[in-house]
Amino acid sequence: MSNLLSIESAFLNLPQVKSAINLSEIKRARRSIENAQKSKFNHTMGMANLVKQAVEWFDSADGKAVFAEEGIQWSKADFGLKVFGWQKSYFYKVVKVATLDERILAAFNTACDNLGSEANRSLAGLLEFSRDIDLDSLEHAEDATEEQIAEAEEAAIAEAASAVETDERVETMFTMSWKNPAGRNVAIRVDANGQIITQNDSSEVSAAINFLSNAINNTRA
């Protein structure tokens, strides 16, 4: 029950309406669904870590030696099917998410928390979220410090977090990102429903707006 007009909120808060549609039960059921999705996703990521460790052993010299000694010839797809019971496509998806930067996973979870029941908190959602985040291809100045590189990477992740996908895509009407020299980088998005999606607090967003306003005023001067 998001993106409600004030008159709509007032309507849903009428005692007779709340009673007639069992609004309290609806809210309770939505929270249960959100918690179940989060729990399932966390279990999947726990399994992904086990997959990563298992695949590292499979690819290691020790692992290959044991396979050879026992006369077992498995491809990596065979390994995924026989050990985890997964077909090749799903197995490789799990392998991919297991190698994602921890900051990407944290940003995805935060974005999903902000969206609530509208979030696509799933393996597919995480892969979609991370698809446009290529930290290895970010361009940096030759003399960039480790701190500056980390800030640039965090900005790229934050920008993706502000545009996290849901099952039903809502058109984005406004986006803004700002590399704050004195604090956290800012990324904010406003969709066609008027919903604001950001990981930043109001003071950080206000600082970004002030920076933009000052830049515009300086241009006009």
Q: Judge whether 14 lies within some domain.
A: yes
What is the pLDDT, as a whole number, of residue 33?
66
Q: What is the CA radius of gyration of the chain?
A: 23
User: In which domain, by residue range, is 35 found?
Assistant: 6-168
What is the pLDDT, as a whole number, of residue 184?
82
Q: Judge whether 174 lies within some domain.
A: no
First to last CA, the chain: 45
What is the pLDDT, as a whole number, of residue 161?
61
Alpha helices in the chain (DSSP H): 6-12, 15-20, 23-59, 61-70, 76-79, 88-98, 102-115, 123-130, 146-161, 202-220
C-beta separation of 110 from 89 below 8 A: no
- CA 98 to CA 83: how far, in whole Å? 17
What is the pLDDT, as a whole number, of residue 167?
41
53, two tokens: 């460790």
Number of domains composing the chain: 1
Angle in degrees, CA 179, 120, 90, rounded to 5: 105
* Three-state secondary-structure class, residue 165: coil
Q: Judge whether 123 lies within some domain.
A: yes
Q: Judge whether 200 lies within some domain.
A: no
Q: Judge whether 176 lies within some domain.
A: no
Global pTM reads 0.55
Q: Judge whether 84 lies within some domain.
A: yes
Question: Consecutive sets of 10 residues in the chain, 221 residues long: mean pLDDT of each?
Answer: 67 80 73 76 88 91 91 90 89 91 82 75 84 61 67 68 51 83 83 79 89 85 61
